[in-house]
Amino acid sequence: MEKRGAIWLQSDRLPVLAGLACLLLVALLQFSGIAPVDRLGMLLFDSYQRAAPRPYQPAPVRVVDIDEESIRRLGQWPWPRTDIARLTEQLSKAGAAVIAYDIVFSEPDRTSPARIAERLRRDGQQGAALARLAELPDNDAKLAEAFANAPVVGGYFLVLSGGGPPPVPQTGMAVAGSPLQGAVPRYRSAIQSLPQLREAAAGAGFVTLPGEDDSIVRKAPLLALAGGQILPSLSLDAVRQAQGAGAIVVKTSDGSGEGGGAAGQPVALKVGQFEVPLTADGAMWVHYTRPQAERTVPAWKVLEGGMSDAQMQETFGGMIVFVGAGAIGLRDLVSTPLGTRDLGVMVHAQAAEQMILGKFLMRPDWAPGLERALLLVLGIGMALALPRMGAVRGAALGGVLVAGMIGGSWMGFTERGFLLDPTWPVLGLVLVYLTETALTYYREERRRAYIHDAFDRYLSPEMVKRIAADPGRLELGGEERDMTVLFCDIRGFSRVSEKLGPRQIVSFLIAFLTPMCDILLARKATIDKFIGDAIVAFWNAPLDDPEHQANAARAALDMNRRLEALNRDPPAGWPGGIRIGIGINSGLCCVGNMGSAQRLSYSLIGDTVNLASRIEGLTKYYGVQIAIGSALAAKLPAFALLELDRVRVVGRDSPETVHALLGDESVAAGSDYAALVALQAEFLAAYRAQDWQPSLAKLEQLAQYAPAFGLEPLFALYAERIAALADQPDQAGWDGVFIAADK
């Protein structure tokens, strides 16, 4: 049975069948639809729009923007309705064909004279002036009068809950075909302008702009259902009003002569002389242009006379004028494929432009079928050809097919305005390639597994992987990197080994080195080498480790704790009372393949390495378990560190400040540690100033902290050193640096 399985695995049939199964799964998912994958297609269409936005063509559409400058000049929003009335009158006087408000005046104007008078009376003010103020015309009435005398199309919000009753359509809506169904959005209520304003306006349309799941507005909704009625959008009713057209005719799938699609699904509408293609949800894809200065006029220019009568007529005469609020604080900004903070009113304006110009983006009804056919035909071809072609040539073929589909999609967009989504076919090809390549790779890897496992016993597993991936790494050479190096050595190993036989020494070293290496590897170290009982390890090579300094410090502390546990509960053959010294340093090292052309070793060299070795030797002299260099100490501000001394080690001219690593952040947070560090700093200052009596006094104070931190040998060393120095005459050139005679 095992032999049959091996033969089956080695044949080409299993990768092909796996690829076909994967392709079938993708086809089923494409048919049912997966939102995240479909969204990738939308993002691709967005990139098309950014690369090839609709070229701007002059169209009878303008936007009056209540922008930041208009707010600054005319005061905070909402403006008095008298200002809106004046804006309406000015646009009507200039000959605007339609004035469409992307603004809902749902509440009475609080600046109306009667409302101001009532507010003053509540504040206790009286007088004839208040009575005359209350008799002045109402601001909303003035706006209604302006609406009645101008070709105004008002706006309203459609909502799923809250608000008031749905609006009564002011436009006739006819359906050619089955009653409108499909994915056209349905709403329960609306937020409308005041009744007197609705009655005065010549038309009305909804201004609601629901975005996709990612909040990007890619389509302008033209139709919605509410209260059993079909309602037009602001842009649609503005285009109807501009033509003086009658009813808007909506064509559904079984009344359009096209066929396909569910009954009642909208496919197009006719408004006056213009026919507009629709999506299944009653919207039109918007092909956005880049911002055009000639399309937009700030509201302050209209209201403050910033344009002459001739300029007003030239700008607005015969135009559909959309009025909207683009100031940031007014929150009428939306995300579109071309920007994250575009004017909401601009969506309505560009939709109206496209209806007039007849420039549309469309997703043809045959597009899903074409995409499924490409997925199956190309996917099956790839699945059958890949085992014979191999991974490289298969990748080249797949790349050509993917490029061809994306290129075809791009050409359809730029030349015909078609939205053809290559996402699912591309996904199918990629998954077929990955599945078959992975199985083929696994088959080949089984042949190499034995040799690979054998080399793992002689080299670092990570290095084996890297060399297998890139044989060029076997070349001699290295790179300079910022690294942390650790040396660990057993104290008095010679005396320990005298009591043990050769086999016992080996068993002891295995019992010691195994848990220590486990700790180092768990802290992302690379084990460089074993020198008898010593361990050399480093961090930040061959793999990057941004926290290599902290990882090295924690590893050293973990090694001490593990050694204490081994001494308390020793394994068989453990001598007992084992102590170690650990020296750590950070800095630039040269790391790479060192050695000769015949034999390589991945290792590191440099002053940082040499100094780490010297620091490890100093742990015995100072009686501490872990000592670190100044470069590493600077990178461990949160750890419990104690300055030991300034030392000039063998082979270096410049002195090094050596610190003891006493613990992690929890130790550093203790009050005893803070007191210890402060006293040690005072002691070292007095010691380096050759103030021997104050130095001894500080040592006596430090003695109380010695047991808790294991510093008795350190303070005893300094007491002996001071006693010897005090007997000598003062040395003017003495700098407090200890000169280490041994390595």
Q: Where are the domains of the chain?
A: 2-52+364-452, 61-357, 472-739
Q: Is 494 exposed, middle or buried (0-12, 13-18, 19+ CB in 10 A)?
A: exposed
Strands 223-226 and 186-187: parallel
8 A C-beta contact, residue 548 and residue 539: yes
- Answer whether 556's CB lies under 8 Å from 583's CB: no
Peptide bond between residue 515 and the one before it cis (omega within 30 degrees of 0): no
Question: Cβ contacts of residue 596 below 8 Å, gap of 6+?
Answer: 476
pLDDT for position 128: 63
For 171-199, the DSSP string reads: S-EEEESSPS-TT--EESEEE---HHHHH
Mean pLDDT, the chain cut into blocks of 10 residues (743 residues total)? 42 78 86 83 90 92 92 90 93 94 91 74 67 74 93 93 85 86 87 93 92 86 91 94 91 67 81 92 92 92 90 94 86 85 90 93 90 89 84 87 92 92 90 85 65 47 60 62 95 86 88 93 89 91 90 97 94 88 95 70 87 94 95 96 93 90 95 94 93 92 93 94 82 77 66
Residue 569 to residue 74: CA distance in whole angstroms? 84
Residue with tokens 């050769």: 502
Q: Identify the pLDDT of residue 181.
A: 76
pLDDT number for residue 451: 45
Closest CA relative to residue 61, chosen from 250, 260, 296: 296
* pLDDT value for 464: 59
Structure tokens at 266: 């909208």
Q: Which helix (H) or strand (E) holds 49?
A: helix 35-51
Residue 583: helix, strand or coil by DSSP? strand
Contact yes or no for 352/235 (Cβ under 8 A): yes
Q: Three-class SS of residue 671? A: helix
Q: Which residues contact 366 (CB under 8 A, 6 or more apart)?
A: none
| Distance in angstroms (rounded) separating the CA atoms of residues 285 and 417 | 10
Cα 107 from chain centre? 41
CA 17, chain centre distance (Å): 37
Q: What are the backbone dihedrals phi and psi of residue 609, each rounded to the nearest 5 degrees, phi first?
A: -70, -45
Give, as one character, the DSSP assignment of residue 416. I
Q: Cα(87)–Cα(93) distance, rounded to whole angstroms?
A: 10
Phi, psi of 66 (to 5 degrees): -85, 85
Residue spans of beta strands (DSSP E) within 78-170: 98-101, 152-159
Q: Which residue has the tokens 């003495």?
A: 734
d(CA 140, CA 114): 11
Tally Cβ neighbours within 10 Å of residue 637: 9
Residue 269, strand partner residues:
250, 276
List C-alpha distances in Å: 627 to 1, 259, 633.
60, 83, 10
pLDDT of residue 133: 64
Q: What's the burial of 710, exposed, middle or buried (CB within 10 Å: 0-12/13-18/19+)?
A: middle
**CATH number belonging to the domain at 472-739, selected among 3.30.70.580, 3.30.70.1230, 3.30.470.30, 1.10.8.50:** 3.30.70.1230
Paired residues of 537 in beta bridges: 486, 527
Q: What is the pLDDT of residue 548?
A: 95
Q: Are 484 and 629 in contact (CB under 8 A)?
A: no
Give the largest Cα separation in the chain, rounded: 118
Give bridge partners of residue 658 from the DSSP assignment.
645
Strands (E), 491-599: 526-531, 534-539, 580-595
